Structure 1
Amino acid sequence: MHNVTLIESESLEKRYGGGTLALADLTVSIEPGIVGLVGANGAGKSTLIKLALGLIAPTAGRIRVLGLDPLTEVERVRSQVGYMPEHDCLPPDMTAAEFVTHMGRMSGLPAATARERASETLRHVGLYEERYRAIGGYSTGMKQRVKLAQALVHDPELLLLDEPTNGLDPEGRQAMLGLVQRIGTEFGISVVVCSHLLGEIERICTSLVAIEGGRLLRSDSLSAMTQHKGVLAVEVDERVEEFVARLTAAGLDVREQGRELLVRFDDEKTYDVIRDAVVDLDLSLHRLEQRRHQVADLFRDSADRTAGSEVGDVQHA
């Protein structure tokens, strides 16, 4: 994997006709790896991808992809970047082999190389046996794999995948995520995966970039986000406010979530403070367990909010 920054933007802004602001003052630097670009639908993820591909021009600011200007260095970007669009846009009458070969040619491969690479890529995504069938007869899962294959065919340095699990059942989603992870680890290709489902892609990513309302919410490596020791989930049956006041006075960071109290776990002393408060207040302790910090909570915390977009509300397995 190359060390050049994947996508770098500075004060990037995009307004569509009618004044709709899709991205506002977005400054971000996305480093190599498997990167989750997350946000609710309409957050500006697809707009950022289209700007990165040079499909649209920014209203203000600048963007670079692998150090290249997508508007003036179009052919170099096309040869080094693979793109899997969100929507179904496949020609139903072509076979997968023909279509993926054609897309290889479009990315600058010679004819014989494109044919060879198409077969190889279709094998990687599990469609080798079906490669001479017309795409129109494919299932949704197979169509998604064709889209992935055409993005991969020219052996790019960077893959941009827009909602790759769209329309798939749970088994299909897992299979697609497994493929993406393999591409990022075994093939050494950097991947930016756009999704409104943080909990789903978090498992395969090395870093996450969250945008909301066209603005950067947070960008960090997954290890940095989860390096806190975690949180303790505590549940008592009564006098919760007194209990929270006691813990807060002792310097603990406490957040209420339904019937649970989430207490940031810094070290073993955290247990002592909770135990002493339970004894002093003569409470019944229903539950005390340690949890890994959930990334959704960290995004929610960074925006200093209690309820938010699908990014914050996603359920974790």
Structure 2
Amino acid sequence: MGVIETAGLTKRYPRVTALDSLDVSVGEGVTGLVGANGAGKSTLIKILLGLVPATEGTARVLDLDVATDGGRIRSLVGYMPEHDCLPADVSASDLVVHLGQMSGLPYAASRERAADVLRHVGLAEERYRPIGGYSTGMKQRVKLAQALVHHPHLVFLDEPTNGLDPAARDDMLSLVRKIGSEFGIAVLVTSHLLGELERISDHVVVLDSGRLLQSSATTDFMHATGTLVVEVDGRHDADRLLGQALVAAGLRASPNGRLVEVEVADETTYDVVRDLTADLGLGLVRMQERHHRIEDVFREGGAGSVQPV
């Protein structure tokens, strides 16, 4: 039994079907949930938390039925919402302690756990300040801390990098990865930035208009395509010159922007690229296999707009 299991899960509203016969299994580690706006991600999380009833089908979280065990599920699951919902005049410490108590922890245990998780998310020195004076990154860390305070078996993280600058985004992604790999807590994380999910997820679930487009290990998305990406420098038309030389040598190659894409015929292809680059007096900047990415699934499946980086 997986951490999350759905079978024929369907949610219909008067004018739209948010989820359409969804069959998905989520295991341990970090699972990325990706899809364009309206793909059904938020609806799925609400159903899994027992907050919204499904129209048809079933879903189980931690082997509990969402239709009958919603309260028990919520006591075992942490949830980090996407939008800012923090009281400005309360300190991070007081808020996390309070939410720990609401989750069933005694006061002393809640204070101890709050101090621990706030330290883990990098707010040890700032935890007594009112949240209203926090930066966006600090507020995201508070939301993450409250999701962890009650020793959950599973956490739902909804767009945890929303609004963060690149450095803060990298820090948050490291924390998410740490939760799944070091803390041993299963993670379901949503993001519209596909590159983020490729970096931190063990498994990726792709939704499109309420339907399951693909559910695979992240490594399955990233398999080699049989194409080399070659970057050279030395003159403004270096890519064109190399492409022509490779075609003349019997390889299938074509310039693509500043790069040259070369179909790998056999193991000698690498040597041919290297030797021709040297013969032309060009510098070989990089030569690597192109891999499929998560965005390729959207491109092939015709899904809505998501951002690859």
**Common fold, TM-score beyond 0.5?**
yes
1:97 maps to which of 81, 93, 98? 93
Deviations 1:253-310 (A, max 9, x none): x9997787756658527769999xx9xxxxxx9999433414235424652x5xx534
- Give the C-alpha shift of residue 166 in structure 1: 0.8
Shift in alpha-carbon separation, 1:299–1:247, aligned structure 2, 3 A: farther
Q: Is the 8 A contact 1:34 1:205 kept in 2?
A: yes
Aligned residue identity for 1:57: P
1:126 maps to which of 118, 122, 125? 122
Matched, 1:293 2:288: no
Match of 2:58 in 1: 62
Structure 2 gaps of 5+ residues are 231-238, 277-281
Shift in alpha-carbon separation, 1:264–1:115, aligned structure 2, 3 A: farther
Match of 2:235 in 1: none
Q: Is the 8 A contact 2:78 2:156 kept in 1?
A: yes
Deviations 1:101-136 (A, max 9, x none): 111122221222111111111111111222222212
Deviations 1:179-200 (A, max 9, x none): 1111111111111110011112
Shift in alpha-carbon separation, 1:265–1:98, aligned structure 2, 3 A: farther
Secondary structure at 1:129 match in 2: coil
- Give the C-alpha shift of residue 63 in structure 1: 1.0
Shift in alpha-carbon separation, 1:133–1:56, aligned structure 2, 3 A: same
Q: Is the 8 A contact 1:22 1:44 kept in 2?
A: yes
- Give the C-alpha shift of residue 178 in structure 1: 1.1
Matched, 1:196 2:179: no
Corresponding residue pairs, total? 290
Matched, 1:25 2:21: yes
Cα distance in 2 for partners of 1:257, 1:272 equals 21
Shift in alpha-carbon separation, 1:266–1:52, aligned structure 2, 3 A: farther
Matched, 1:268 2:267: yes
Shift in alpha-carbon separation, 1:99–1:186, aligned structure 2, 3 A: same
Cα distance in 2 for partners of 1:143, 1:75 equals 27
Secondary structure at 2:224 match in 1: coil
2:140 maps to which of 131, 136, 144? 144
Cα distance in 1 for partners of 2:51, 2:256 equals 43
Match of 2:308 in 1: 314
Please give the root-mean-square deviation of Cα atoms over the aligned residues, in Å: 3.1
- Give the C-alpha shift of residue 201 in structure 1: 2.6
Worse-superposed segment, 263-272 or 213-222: 263-272
Secondary structure at 1:104 match in 2: helix
- Give the C-alpha shift of residue 231 in structure 1: 2.9
Q: Is the 8 A contact 1:247 1:273 kept in 2?
A: no
Q: Is the 8 A contact 1:218 1:302 kept in 2?
A: no
Shift in alpha-carbon separation, 1:102–1:232, aligned structure 2, 3 A: same
Secondary structure at 1:130 match in 2: coil
Deviations 1:11-46 (A, max 9, x none): 111123x32221111111111111111112221111
Matched, 1:88 2:80: no
Aligned residue identity for 2:228: L
Match of 2:233 in 1: none
Matched, 1:14 2:8: no
Cα distance in 1 for partners of 2:110, 2:64 equals 24
Q: Is the 8 A contact 1:236 1:286 kept in 2?
A: no
Secondary structure at 1:155 match in 2: coil
Q: Is the 8 A contact 2:117 2:148 kept in 1?
A: yes
Shift in alpha-carbon separation, 1:238–1:232, aligned structure 2, 3 A: closer
Normalising by structure 1, what TM-score?
0.80
Matched, 1:78 2:74: yes
Aligned residue identity for 2:26: I
Identity among equivalent positions (%) equals 54
Q: Is the 8 A contact 1:229 1:266 kept in 2?
A: no
Q: Is the 8 A contact 1:231 1:264 kept in 2?
A: yes
1:231 maps to which of 227, 237, 249? 227
Aligned residue identity for 1:73: D
Q: Is the 8 A contact 2:295 2:308 kept in 1?
A: no
Worse-superposed segment, 74-83 or 227-236: 227-236
- Give the C-alpha shift of residue 223 in structure 1: 2.2
Deviations 1:145-202 (A, max 9, x none): 1100000001111110000011111111111111111111111111111001111231
Aligned residue identity for 2:64: L
Match of 1:281 in 2: none
